[in-house]
Structure 1
């Protein structure tokens, strides 16, 4: 029996300093049945030159070069629609895969029922020089993980909290086909994918460290609450989608928890428009408690209290928030 084909969609945008390490990690996979697609989203650094070096040496790599920047979601969709894999990895080329990554996740899928659509793992965090910053999950001496990973039906969980390290996921093709890929109208993909896919598909956590996620000032995750960044507006749109998918009181409670969290962060980072939208949703859901009524007034009057967030981060984390 032929092992399933796995497609790795490698998404590049100005990743020249990290690109060779990333592509080398893909090519070093012990799993032999791979399809490698590299999509460059109109990089302005030396990324394209480096990719061309690799496709000369490794002609099995398929290369898609954008003439206009399209964003992560549209770039992934293009690679997905040109691919043949039964399973997928969405791989940003500033990250690094462990050699056994694909083999172990495929093996996990083969031991799971067919209604499992995603296998995710722990990940190591690294800096710009590839030095370890620790791991996504903190572990107690008894082996308890924080944040606690979830298994099976995780819909309510993904609504209410953040517990998945995005680059660790392997996805079943049928999931992406059912969703018609990522939503290209959004500025980022993971929250929307989690919400829409977990409504009908099960998730499995594999307790292994199989990739390195690079943390650097230019990564999308570092920009999400910067004023004017489009990711927060996308979060509002995803919450509106989630409202239509909710079926139980537990799920509705999780949506309210998410709305409150995002509204607070939007306000305390001076993203007033998104804060107003989120608080209006909270009001429509009859979740506007006295505290959030006050927050709504502060938002409408544009009262600048961002110093509170900066103070909190200095107190709790030892650094000043952006």
Structure 2
């Protein structure tokens, strides 16, 4: 990587995250990679998230807050963040997840040295108290569109993507909007590349969609059939692989 570090735009949607947002912001401030901008989009929180964030914006010019006037959901908030982003790279960081200090440095270096379009990394799960509740969740060396149909291995907070690759791709207001976003991008087509080192702490919160297995099952089938327009048998094939991978991951 050259001495001139490319700008990374970090997009963080926030809704009622007062309990976690300080730790999330601090994990960005502690990055060994320094050329970044953090764009936080508050989706009209009902708690004091904005007040907490504003204390950071007063101290750090690299942190900005966009306050939405009405709640539009995480897909809309991320789309607003993409419009604001100025960086060569786009990183997504959810308002309750944490980055380890070397996260950006290692990913940017890896991508710059190899001219890669996007990377993602391994991670550990944590609970609401910040306690690690899993072993390292490993990721494959690479993934393409067909493989993503069977299993979304890309946790959003682990990703780093060239803005030019994302281009005008937008988030859709559907369940599993993160998975649909990756599928839309990977149709271009290209591969994403995994870094099998845990650089992110992914928080599991009670009542979240990702923790509601019945909702996840319904969203998965709907995406395969309606969003990706696959036939019944092909959908069943990918759905079975997705279910198996999900159960296996939960058991680890």
TM-score range (shorter-chain normalised) is 0.7 to 0.9
Separation of aligned partners in 2, 1:107 and 1:197 = 22
Q: How far is 1:70 from its partner?
A: 0.8
Between the aligned partners of 1:218 and 1:43, the Cα distance in structure 2 is 17
Q: Which has the higher contact order (CA 8 A, sep 6+)?
A: 2
Matches within 5 A, 1:1-322: 2-113=4-115, 116-137=116-137, 149-151=140-142, 154-179=144-169, 181-183=170-172, 185-199=173-187, 200-223=189-212, 225-226=214-215, 232-233=218-219, 236-237=222-223, 239-243=225-229, 255-259=235-239
RMSD over aligned Cα atoms: 2.8
Distance apart, 1:170 and its partner CA: 0.9
CA contact (8 A) 2:141 2:195 kept: no
Deviations, residues 28-48 of structure 1 (Å, cap 9, x unaligned): 111111011111111111211
Preserved contact between residue 160 and residue 254 of structure 1 (Cα < 8 Å): no
User: Are the equivalent residues in 2 in contact too, given 1:11–1:40 (CA < 8 A)?
Assistant: yes
CA distance in 1, matches of 2:145, 2:123: 22
CA change 1:254–1:169 in 2 (3 A) is farther
Deviation at 1:134, TM superposition (A): 1.7
SS at match of 1:53: helix
Q: Distance in 2 between matches of 1:47 and 1:131?
A: 22
Please state how far the C-alpha of 1:23 moved relative to its aligned partner: 0.6
CA displacement at 1:258 relative to structure 2: 2.9
Question: Normalising by the residue count of structure 2, what TM-score does the alignment of the two structures yield?
Answer: 0.85
Residues 86-128 of structure 1: per-residue CA shift (max 9 Å, x gap): 1111111101011111111101111224xx4320110111111
Q: Which has the larger radius of gyration?
A: 1
Q: CA deviation at 1:257?
A: 1.8
Q: Is the 8 A contact 1:191 1:238 kept in 2?
A: no
> CA separation of 1:86/1:37 partners in 2, compared to 1, >3 Å: closer, same or farther?
same
Q: In structure 2, how many angstroms separate the alpha carbons of the residues matched to 1:78 and 1:235?
A: 28
Cα distance in 1 for residues equivalent to 2:16 and 2:135: 25
Contact 2:94 2:156 in 1 (8 A): no
